[in-house]
Structure 1
Amino acid sequence: MLALRPSATIGGGAMDVQQTHFSAQEIAALARRIDRPIVLVGMMGVGKSSVGKRLASLLNCPFVDADEEIERSAQMGIPEIFETYGEDYFRDGERRVIARLIDESEGCRVIATGGGAFCNAETRALILHRALTIWLDSEVDTLVERTGRKDNRPLLKDGEPREILARLREERRPHYSQAPIHVLSGPGPHVQTINKVLQGISQWL
């Protein structure tokens, strides 16, 4: 079982692991030690889905995007859910979908969550208790650049994206910071972030 330890920040100062590379044998050995789902939390645009897919491939385990599961269950897109039913309705459905995904997990499974999922107290408690939680974090400039590639972000529709992202990042930080592993994701290739995630998992197990 995973032990409870103080949070670790990976990717800055003396703990920077951008140059750490894992062999296939090391990754396979790491995967065998993981006995629960890995849940990625963090701001929209930080790369949870992209990093999650590649991480799952390396660990040879399933990947699932919670937002895609929500859309499949509701049979409509997230922007449409927000517009039709409001954010509270969406968050309740999000909580139930994430609970189901965790319940269905057998050993290692990588789950990417929406930016606000971990801010819901019930969802956060469930994830912290049942999964290995990793906070992917980025500077606002990086978030602005990445979110600008898509136009399906309901919370960015009514205002200046940079201001909204900066405010949300600050408001959500107390929630995200409860994750036991904190990985700083820079503007470079996701492979650097994945190396940091692997290092964080390795140090945590």
Structure 2
Amino acid sequence: MSTLKRPIILIGFMGAGKTSVGRALAQDYQCRFVDLDEHIASSESMSIPDIFSQYGENTFRSFEHKYLQQAMEQYEIISTGGGIISSDETFQFLKMVNADIIWLDAPFSVLYARIKDDPNRPKAKNSQKETLKNLYLSRVSRYNEIAFIKVSTNSTFNETIATIEKNISANDQY
């Protein structure tokens, strides 16, 4: 049984490590985890790039909102896609939700190195470094506005997990 008092929602740019961190936290806290992008792809029987190319980003964002609301009822830890804050509707939902929203971040150069050759990231595929940096910078203020804490994933994986768990534990004291 989970020892979490509230769900954890992991946000951050592509390549921040949301899925890896989410899986590790779910194992440590013995609770249910979902990668929202994987859940959308499975539920819609289409890859994220195929949803983008066939239906466009707006349709994907509406799927994202719908499945995030459903996931909140079924999972204790949710890793989101980097653009979860792009839709005003989803952004407002995240501002109001009773969850610990953790912003995973790293220097842009580190994020870029992690995502530059990944064909499963429609926003990164065939994009120039400067274009992606501008996308990253355009999202920073929204990540910051809704995050309970910001954690760097530019350290070791174990240090990242320890930092998150320490903050969750400290927050549970109140």
In 1: Cα distance, 2:89 partner to 2:99 partner: 14
Q: CA deviation at 1:118?
A: 2.3
Match of 2:36 in 1: 66
In 1: Cα distance, 2:22 partner to 2:28 partner: 10
1:87 lines up with 2:57 in the alignment: yes
CA offsets per residue over residues 108-136 of structure 1, 9 Å max, x none? Answer: x1100000012322222323323210000
1:110 lines up with 2:80 in the alignment: no
Contact between 2:108 and 2:133, CA under 8 Å: does it hold in 1?
yes
Paired AA for residue 112 in structure 1: S
Match of 2:47 in 1: 77
Match of 1:52 in 2: 22
Identity percentage of aligned residues: 37
Q: CA deviation at 1:198?
A: 1.1
**Cα root mean square deviation, aligned:** 1.7
In 2: Cα distance, 1:155 partner to 1:52 partner: 22
Match of 1:10 in 2: none
Partner SS for 2:103: strand
- The structure 2 residue matched to 1:175, chosen from 134, 142, 146, is 142
In 1: Cα distance, 2:5 partner to 2:94 partner: 14
Q: CA deviation at 1:149?
A: 5.3
Paired AA for residue 78 in structure 2: I
TM-score, normalised on structure 2?
0.90
Q: Which has the higher contact order (CA 8 A, sep 6+)?
A: 1
Decide whether aligned partners of structure 1 residues 163 and 100 sit closer, same or farther in structure 2, where only a CA change above 3 A counts: same
TM-score, normalised on structure 1?
0.77
Bigger radius of gyration among the two? 1
Partner SS for 1:44: coil
Q: CA deviation at 1:176?
A: 0.1
**Count of aligned pairs between the two proteins:** 170
Match of 2:110 in 1: 142
Match of 1:16 in 2: none
Decide whether aligned partners of structure 1 residues 164 and 196 sit closer, same or farther in structure 2, where only a CA change above 3 A counts: farther
Contact between 2:51 and 2:60, CA under 8 Å: does it hold in 1?
yes
Decide whether aligned partners of structure 1 residues 191 and 140 sit closer, same or farther in structure 2, where only a CA change above 3 A counts: same
Contact between 2:11 and 2:82, CA under 8 Å: does it hold in 1?
yes
